[in-house]
Structure 1
């Protein structure tokens, strides 16, 4: 008996136990057999035993009902095949069908025959190890493997899912592509389900599996239609490792597609979708996803690896583009040559024979279409004048002259924080994106205005890098880009707004053509490219009908509302026009970001003038003031800060170079020239900018600074911009700027203002206010001669003349607020006359005119609370005129008869104690001002005293005190032979108020009586003695009587 026979006899009983129905017998036999085979040192005996006796009963144990049996059987199998490699070569290939069937049988049917998760995982592990064995060909069983693994992908055990994905990836590497293409589609549904699994490791393994599955065969690219929606979701996966796997998947698919034999014919955008080559239908969509990965938030783990892979793809794509262009030109040359031959033969032969020749020629045409051509002159293909493809690609490189300036605006993914180095996109990368921009950019811009926040955020980040790659090649797309930026600049999400602001800046920096941007904005704002006059009229696009007011529409895609812009054909008929205030604000916000980074060397005078024209148009709308001051802040101050930052960056770079001294010298010259360019540009336009700032300041109420943040913001930004214009551009102080502006613009501002009142919404009134108040130190007599008639007209209550023949007459005067503002200007001038003699002399010169044409008409009584405020403002001005002696005695005597009824009306104003008080103060000043020789007439005094007596009964004690002072002046102004009865009547009222409980009133009445006793001592003593018995303060009254009697005795 040989050794093998003895070995078989020793284990026969245990082998037979594997077929026993009793589970314990089977288990014990299998355990003993496992120990025996593991101890046997002669591997030849074990291998022969496995092939002849053991493999069938052992593999049948995989389906046993006892878990221990299945576990030991699987362990023994892996020991023999995988661990010790006892069973190899022909033996393994012979038993491979049964082995695969046994392994796949544990999870190929749903529900799984194998109930244990751990064992299912080990069965998959066994398959993985089998595929790694050398010399083992599993490709004939690819369909069975993929079918079984498609079921394994549905396993609830995450480790089993990952093991199945790893096995699929390994199979795709060793199985021929045609078989992968035929059987791989079985895996796709369950793989896509696992891509959305809750465990990130499962998602990562599924993505890697998809990478190998699709790239294994070009035929599998048809699966991309089903995969793309899932890939878009993975862009926002919460784990960076999954997003990194996605980037690697995209790089692999694009690389495989580019290197495939059918990818040499490049894409033709004018062709129908069905006519495009297979990869060409998906290349731009894969590239879009890859660019999204480059701008991923996790730059270290996702963005930078994706950018590195994209760099290699760009090099590969450029090479294949050159090959495809050569092939296309070769085909065109061959077809031209073949066509020439056919035409020559048709001319030489008869028509009947020509058809045969033509058909034979076309049959050979396809055979030689790609052959290298030698033309009729013997010139080979190398001697043809092909375009310089490298020059075409290099033309897409960033401008090398200002790369240093561009580096600071590159997205952070191009910067290496560890080495402080910056990677500048090369020409091939830019060329690759530019070739597909026609399809990539609309998708990005479309997502920028969608409803979903994640889509908008991703699209905003992507647009930043698009503008970098396209740079100068975005000229044809500026209009479309701007329109979408307008819509997104006021997004509800702060991250989107921030990214859109950066996009606007990148558009300006990398396009390097601000004139093109301003021209596009001119169309959007419907403002012609022409210089602007002072205070331009509004030119809104009123010719658009109602149905064209909304540029954006909505459509429904897969039951979801999607925002869309008009189609390209419709856009030609209906371009975007900013008609509403909201649209104008959006345009100005984008313009503000562009001006923040623009260089003044690239701004021509015409462009700067047009930008200012935009602002002049916008200042007519109060809703745009905050946006305007933000724009001016970016244009003046923020732009200067950005330039300073560039200076420091460039200076540090220059100083670190080998030729630091010469570079620094050149740098200083460059910086001086840059500053001079900006100063020169703004010096020509500063009056218009200053005028815009004045309009912004004048359109808000400074009293609301503390209560209204927007008003505070407008005033703060306006003041800062004015300060910048004064110090940096004009080289003077802020008051001097107002003086220069007043001298240059006053005549234009006040044109016809003394004949026609300004409209209610005109900013001229507020600008006039600001100019006068801020440049009072520079006002000349000529200025006042021009200003005073304007003040009178603008505060006039008379009917205005019609502006045009077809217009109705203006309402009576202007609004109360406008008149109060004008009176405020006059009051300011009156107060300033204390410090400025020129103002004082000018007001004295025009005092009579102001009283007759402005002050007295506005002080006249009219119903309404608003007119009450006007009367108060007017009386205050009159009081200041009199107090500061700005009206001469002659002029005051002239106007007093007409002014007295007005004063009486104001003193009797029941609803305004302020008016009563100010009017009483004015009466006092008038009585004190007129001298002895020009005293008030008796009849005027008779009209005045009843109103003064009424004020003694006023509800306000302050008015009563002031009235007593007025009576003091009244008694001094009385003629000697004035009516004794009226004098007696006044004294009777005064004695009554002498008993007032308020000490202030008592003291004021006492002063009044002291002045009154000098007029008629006899009547005073008589009335005082009558009042004394009833007086509360008899002692003071007796003292007055004693004084009067002493004077009478002396007298």
Structure 2
């Protein structure tokens, strides 16, 4: 049989002799036709493998020579034929002594010898075929293979790169006992190519890197880890999947994997958070295998834990499957090496790195459970840094990690650290003190009600401490204060009754510092939450419960209040929001206000309090007088609060204080908190101050003085003495000539009330000179250029016609012909005439 095959081969070779000679011709077409003929007479003829083996032995050298042919087509045919022979012959390894040096010469030099990229690809495909069919037989040609792969991995043609990576994987698997000796030399070209613009190239390089490290010495793992870590951010899911598979394979099969667990775990665990479900599932399965294998390998060490620690911790995150013991132990034993890197990467300049790091931290804590206790300092500083990030995803994952700390760590431990951090944040130079509150809120949300109960007072006292709740005006800081309050309410519910006062102090402070309505609305929600957990009917009930303590809280510091003190705003928030409750605590409220409104206190502080008082007095029945007992304190209110601030002093600031006091007085007179008898009893002290205020430079002061006099005249209802009345009208007359139209109108209104307030005790005969002067002055304004003033003066004089009609008629007739128009005088005379006939 063998002789027959040899005979057949000899016959074929004899027929090819002429074509083989033609391969040496200078004419390229001749060489091409010769190669095509050889192919036709051998490969295409369907000869047996034994015959082809014999023919290949004789044709190999001429074909290898053709690899250097100047004509590209000749080289192409030669490469194809070599590949076909390799695929068909039974002993392809026999060709290796000639074939490998030739391919190395074409592909493995420093410079590109084969210019045609498609032919370089064909050669690499032939080389891959050789690796596939020859396997271990390639061991003697390790140098040539490595030389070729070093060059082709960085080839300019992407397809050559991919084929080279494929060939690398195959070669490493076929000659592992030899490959490790030179695997290191492939790391550099692979890392040069791993960031190629084509995703398929990056995928192939990743897979090749896995094989090079797996079948190498493992010493170069550090050289590739950072590059693989970057591929976890790759836009291509296939690249990220390849990284996941490679790392998982290393964790399972790398010879020295125990030494590299702390470096490999982050890469595989990061894939558990990949956006592609397939990759997440793959990573989870690989991680499960790694954990199971580690359990088997360390069964003796884990025996006690495997037997007894089977139930998950209380309040384990819902919907989350607890990792196996092996997975948890792997993380726990490597956490001390992982955390410094996690902490460092949380501050990386790349957003993607920070997001991945935050996701990884959550996964690590889920595995570490209560073992994270020993790393609390570093964990907290890492979370503080992460929560200050501008990227929302980083913050969200850090908050999730904070909740896990609350779930797994004893409050006694984390509160000892965190409360100190929050308390000291005001004295530190850090601009992100709010992050400490944010992390605290997250930890509290993760904690259990029973675990927190013994620590509630300590937490609430810290939050309510002035150094904490008054530390910053930043919106984000105030938001995190609210977040801490909300966390306590959500977790501890009715247990918060014991810290209701402290929580209310925090909420009052936040509202006092807030300049935005949205934040105030959030405060209101929290206040209702404090009411709800105590089953109180409403906000007023909450304030009723704590009003005495709140007022004492403010009274303790009132002597040191300044214009910039937050306490003045806290007082306003408490009094305004407590509504009718403030009327129940007048014995405590008014002395506090008295001390603040002392003339010696800062003007701006007094202005703020007077403005607040004016608002309360305008709605007195629902605030200060809600119990109908404000009258008992009226003397104190006027004598100690209002009147001392109405006394004239030079200067704009003093004028502003008088204006504020006047506004408060107007509110008192108009708000219904003072009876006519009470007005009458204090009129003697009020009137001189109000008449003086009519001369103020401030238009607003003059206006309020006019309105206050009008209110006094209305309340006293013809009960003022003639002497008092005669002191009032001249000052009001001056204001009819005021520069402000509004003041003029108010003065005229007051004069009309004055005329209506004249009682039977007012002797018109005795007081005729006063009436005469008043009528004469008013008649002058009846000819005012402003028609609205004329109309108002006409109404005032009509009211005067009821007091002394004959005198008024006499005065009108005296000036009638002197005015620009007699229309208003005629109307007044008609009114007087009609009045006398009724």
* TM-score between both structures, scaled by the size of structure 1: 0.72
Per the alignment, residue 710 of structure 2 pairs with 924
- Following superposition, the deviation at residue 489 of structure 1 comes to 1.0
Per the alignment, residue 651 of structure 1 pairs with none
- Structure 1 distance, partners of 2:371, 2:224, is 32
Q: How does 1:547-696 map to 2 (within 5 A)?
A: 549=428, 582-617=431-466, 618-623=468-473, 627-628=477-478, 630-633=480-483, 635-636=485-486, 640=490, 678-696=492-510
Per the alignment, residue 60 of structure 1 pairs with 65
Cα deviations across residues 185-223 of structure 1 (Å, max 9, x unaligned)? 332222111211111111111111111122113x2x222
- Following superposition, the deviation at residue 932 of structure 1 comes to 6.5
Q: How does 1:480-879 map to 2 (within 5 A)?
A: 480-509=378-407, 511-526=408-423, 541=427, 549=428, 582-617=431-466, 618-623=468-473, 627-628=477-478, 630-633=480-483, 635-636=485-486, 640=490, 678-700=492-514, 711-742=516-547, 745-747=550-552, 749-750=554-555, 756=559, 758-778=561-581, 783-797=585-599, 799=600, 813-825=601-613, 827-829=615-617, 831-833=619-621, 839-840=627-628, 842-862=629-649, 867-879=654-666
- Structure 1 distance, partners of 2:784, 2:684, is 34
Cα deviations across residues 451-509 of structure 1 (Å, max 9, x unaligned)? 23222112111111011111100001112111121122121122212222222122222
When the two chains are superposed, the root-mean-square deviation of aligned CA atoms in Å is 3.4
- Following superposition, the deviation at residue 448 of structure 1 comes to 0.6
Secondary structure, counterpart of 1:910 in structure 2: coil
Secondary structure, counterpart of 2:534 in structure 1: helix
Q: How does 1:178-189 map to 2 (within 5 A)?
A: 179-189=178-188
Residues 772 and 825, structure 1, Cα contact 8 Å, conserved in 2: no
Per the alignment, residue 1024 of structure 1 pairs with 812
- Structure 1 distance, partners of 2:245, 2:625, is 82
1:476 to 368, 374, 391: 374
Per the alignment, residue 349 of structure 2 pairs with 451
Residues 848 and 891, structure 1, Cα contact 8 Å, conserved in 2: no
Unaligned runs of 5+ in 2: 1-5
1:230 to 227, 230, 245: 227
Per the alignment, residue 359 of structure 2 pairs with 461
- Structure 2 distance, partners of 1:626, 1:45, is 85
Per the alignment, residue 752 of structure 2 pairs with 968
- Structure 1 distance, partners of 2:604, 2:211, is 80
Q: Cα distance 1:10–1:933, how it changes in 2: closer, same or farther (>3 A)?
A: closer
Residues 445 and 484, structure 1, Cα contact 8 Å, conserved in 2: yes
- Structure 2 distance, partners of 1:118, 1:638, is 69
- 1:200 and 2:170 aligned: no
Secondary structure, counterpart of 1:156 in structure 2: coil
Cα deviations across residues 239-258 of structure 1 (Å, max 9, x unaligned)? 1111111122222223333x
Residues 794 and 819, structure 1, Cα contact 8 Å, conserved in 2: no
Q: Cα distance 1:101–1:1029, how it changes in 2: closer, same or farther (>3 A)?
A: same
Cα deviations across residues 341-398 of structure 1 (Å, max 9, x unaligned)? xxxxxxxxxxxxxxxxxxxxxxxxxxxxxxxxxxxxxxxxxxxxxx854225677x67
Secondary structure, counterpart of 2:220 in structure 1: helix
Q: Cα distance 1:487–1:29, how it changes in 2: closer, same or farther (>3 A)?
A: closer
1:904 to 691, 698, 709: 691
Q: Cα distance 1:694–1:252, how it changes in 2: closer, same or farther (>3 A)?
A: same
- Structure 2 distance, partners of 1:3, 1:846, is 132
Residues 779 and 839, structure 1, Cα contact 8 Å, conserved in 2: no
Cα deviations across residues 857-907 of structure 1 (Å, max 9, x unaligned)? 223345666655543342233234445675567765665454344223322
- Structure 2 distance, partners of 1:4, 1:766, is 108
Q: How does 1:223-302 map to 2 (within 5 A)?
A: 223-257=220-254, 260=255, 263=256, 282-298=260-276, 300-302=277-279
- Structure 1 distance, partners of 2:604, 2:729, is 32
Aligned length: 827
Residues 469 and 506, structure 2, Cα contact 8 Å, conserved in 1: yes
Q: Cα distance 1:457–1:118, how it changes in 2: closer, same or farther (>3 A)?
A: same
- Following superposition, the deviation at residue 280 of structure 1 comes to 5.6
- Structure 2 distance, partners of 1:117, 1:762, is 79
Q: Which of 450-459 and 161-170 deviates more?
A: 450-459
Unaligned runs of 5+ in 1: 264-278, 323-386, 411-422, 528-538, 542-548, 551-579, 644-677, 701-709, 800-812
- 1:29 and 2:34 aligned: yes
- Structure 2 distance, partners of 1:1045, 1:111, is 127
- Structure 1 distance, partners of 2:614, 2:50, is 120
Q: Cα distance 1:27–1:623, how it changes in 2: closer, same or farther (>3 A)?
A: same
- Structure 1 distance, partners of 2:27, 2:719, is 147
Higher fraction of helix: 2
Residues 620 and 672, structure 2, Cα contact 8 Å, conserved in 1: no
Per the alignment, residue 390 of structure 1 pairs with 303
Residues 74 and 123, structure 1, Cα contact 8 Å, conserved in 2: yes
- Following superposition, the deviation at residue 540 of structure 1 comes to 5.4
Q: Cα distance 1:757–1:949, how it changes in 2: closer, same or farther (>3 A)?
A: farther
